[in-house]
Amino acid sequence: MNNLDTILQSNLSTIMCPKYESLPYLERQRTRLIMAADGLYIQSHQIWGVLAKQLWKSPRILPYGKIKEADTFKDIIKNIVPKILPQFINEIHKSFSDKKEWQGFIVLDNDCQYKYEPVEQNLKRTKATYQTPNPNIVVDIHTHPGYEAFFSIEDDNDNWGGVKISVCIGSAPDGSLYSIQRYCVEGFFFPSSDWIL
Ligand SMILES: [Zn+2]
């Protein structure tokens, strides 16, 4: 195989799910595509969680083994975010009162502790700008001050590579804040019904 193909495919490899033995172990910080009996899946193994989601359902059973969907990313939204949220909730409220976009991260540091990482904001612009993201980003949170929460084309571009949880906080017509969440896995987006606000 051409070396360039080797590099490309090692980044997001595709394997066939064996029917008569178990799946090869997926190393940490890796994501792969798996062709299984009922279609194509994406599986990601991060230090902070495991996700397996079906991307395509086959109209017929294929000659491969079965795999199950898995999701421990939701534990981050349910358990970790509420613990860290008090560290930056004031900045979120300030973003809405000042009508300036804000962005912040929850990262996993070298001691495997979750912590809030402020992002250097360029407040002169309407769009929040920030420095090169830390590779250990677990949750990427931004605000839409004065309008609804949704993922824009810019958000899609921002969330394209790598694996993280993205949160957008917007305001309802009555002024109350609410959030929407999605898992971002190498350019595939999976909405989460769990919420942080
Ligand atoms: Zn946005």
Q: Which domain holds residue 94?
A: 75-192
- Are residues 79 and 158 both part of a single domain? yes
**pLDDT in single tens digits along all 197 residues of the chain:** 899 888 888 889 999 999 999 999 999 999 999 999 999 999 999 999 999 999 999 999 999 999 999 999 999 999 999 999 999 999 999 999 999 999 999 999 989 999 999 887 654 445 555 555 566 899 999 999 999 999 999 999 888 889 999 999 999 999 899 999 999 999 999 999 877 77
β-pairing, 30-36 vs 13-16, is parallel
197 part of a folded domain: no
pTM exceeds 0.85 = yes
Ion ligand 1 residue ranges (Cβ < 5 Å): 152, 155, 168
Among 51, 71, 91, residue at a domain's last position: 71
How far is residue 93's CA from residue 169's CA, in Å, rounded to a whole number? 10
Place of tokens 């929040």: 128
Q: Looking at the 3D structure of the chain, how many domains does it have? A: 2
Distance 28 CA to ligand 1 centre (A): 29
- Looking at the structure, tell me whether residues 55 and 101 fall in a common domain: no
Q: Which of 42, 71, 100 is the last residue of a domain?
A: 71
Are residues 126 and 51 located together in one domain of the fold? no
In terms of domains, do 89 and 66 share one?
no
Helix (H, G, I), strand (E, B) or coil at 11: helix
**Of 50, 71, 92, which residue constitutes the final position of a domain?**
71
What is the Cα–Cα distance from 114 to 165, expressed in whole angstroms? Answer: 14
Ligand 1 geometric centre to CA of 7 (Å): 32
Centre of ligand 1 from the C-alpha of residue 148, in Å = 9
**pLDDT for the residue 160:** 85
> Are 184 and 99 members of one domain?
yes
Same structural domain, 90 and 175? yes
What does DSSP assign to residue 119? -
